[in-house]
Amino acid sequence: MSTIEFNEMWREKLLNRFLNYVKIYSTSDAESETTPSTERQWDIANYIVEELKTIGLEDVSIDQHGYIMAYVSSNLENDNQPTIGFISHYDTSPDFSGENVKPQVWENYQGEDLVLNKESNFTLSPSKFESLKKHIGQTLITTDGNTLLGADDKAGCAEIVTAAEYLIAHPEIKHGRMALGFTPDEEIGRGAHKFDVAKFGAEFAYTMDGSEVGELEYENFNAAGAVVKIHGLSVHPGYAFGKMVNASLLAAEFIQSLPANETPSTTKGFDGFYHLMDVTSDVSECKLQYIIRDHDDEKFEARKKFMEEKVAEFNQKHGEGTAEVEIKEQYRNMKQQFEGKMHIVDLAAKAMKEAGIEPKIKAIRGGTDGAQLSYMGLPCPNIFAGGMNFHGPYEYVALESMEKATEVIINIVKA
């Protein structure tokens, strides 16, 4: 049974902290080469830093790339416990607008349709999202239908900070040293690229970046980004016969050349896919942005090669130089990094059971900072943060789910 009790004061702290975070515009940008990729991410980064100092954390720091670290010291007399880290990202996905987020709080949800926006009649309904039925009687936080919410991963940020604050306020809870890390640019696959593992000083860590309560993940997609550029020739349409090459039409042809049954909406479980993220096009040039995903290493390499072969075939048909592709690897499946280290996963599972949660160990159809960090020498499974329907206007999180995630963090750290 749980040994952590969240009274109304702590519920309000957690809720208000989360609401404050999501109102800060912090979307990342894959087109940028800087870290953080957007200046606006500094707003939430600096906000978190000041908050960590205010609640009494030690060695609070932020580097030139926006990586935040802070610590809760051990209160054990004879401390031989490892330093355990908890990490979340403060950027939000560029897949949908994250500007001017207006969160709405719905207390004592009873399973009804929630009209998020009366002007557009935008509705969050259990008939479309059955997961809502699991939150009867709970407090939901939703969007207003115009933006994403940002529970991915500001819920994780709020949970980690609240857990640290709770431990500081309850010295009777004996615990080892806790390291906190907050990163930019996770949503564009660069969240851990410049993370200083040695400085962080944890023997292992957990990303609080999962979804449904109970999720515990230590394997994920191998991931790459691919940019396909198609070059056309623009001339006046009245004089185009035999001359014009319409890049937009060529792009449509290329898109159709990839397997229609290997997309996110047609695959599940361990199936990989090609996902067309964005199209920027006119007559003279088109840019197609894809992500490539597969859990299996050999299949992942085959997918990257397949994309290159399709571009080569396209050039054979339409002329050399018509299309070009650049593929950049983003992260790898972290499963093999846990050989001989499953006690890290077992510790999280035990902490969940202590909180009255049945662990749901599964593979991530995505990735987290933890995938990269595990390859950088910091084993880092992923734990639920509670948010649902990420990256769009139907995103929501239950306050009770966030409470449970906070409790799991405390259970992991305490001796």
- Residues in the annotated binding site for Zn(2+): 89, 152, 187, 209, 391
Strands 387-388, 396-398: pairing kind: antiparallel
From the list 29, 51, 91, 159, the catalytic residue is 91
Annotated binding site, which residues? 89, 152, 187, 209, 391
3-state secondary structure the chain: CCCCCCCHHHHHHHHHHHHHHHCCCCECCCCCCCCCCCCCHHHHHHHHHHHHHHCCCEEEEECCCCCEEEEECCCCCCCCCCCEEEEEECCECCCCCCCCCCCEEECCCCCCCEEEECCCCEEECCCCCHHHHHHCCCCEEECCCCCCCCHHHHHHHHHHHHHHHHHHHCCCCCECCEEEEEECCHHHCCCCCCCCHHHHCCCEEEEEEECCCCEEECCCCEEEEEEEEEECECCCHHHCCCCCECHHHHHHHHHHHCCCCCCHHHCCCCCCEEEEEEEEECCCEEEEEEEEEECCHHHHHHHHHHHHHHHHHHHHHHCCCCEEEEEEEEECCCHHHHCCCCHHHHHHHHHHHHCCCCCEECCCCCCCHHHHHHHCCCCCCEEECCEECCCCCCCEEEHHHHHHHHHHHHHHHEC
From the list 29, 153, 186, 294, the catalytic residue is 186
Q: Return the exposure string of 344-371: e unless at least 16 CB atoms fall within 10 Å of the residue's CB, then b.
A: bbebbbebbebbebebeeeebbbbbbbb
**186 belongs to the catalytic site:** yes
Judge residue 284's burial from the number of C-beta atoms within 10 Å of its C-beta, 0-12 exposed, 13-18 middle, 19 or more buried.
Answer: middle
Interacting residues of 392 by C-beta distance below 8 A, sequence separation 6+: 95, 96, 148
Q: Judge contact between 392 and 97, C-beta under 8 A.
A: no
**282 belongs to the catalytic site:** no
What is the set of active-site residues? 91, 186
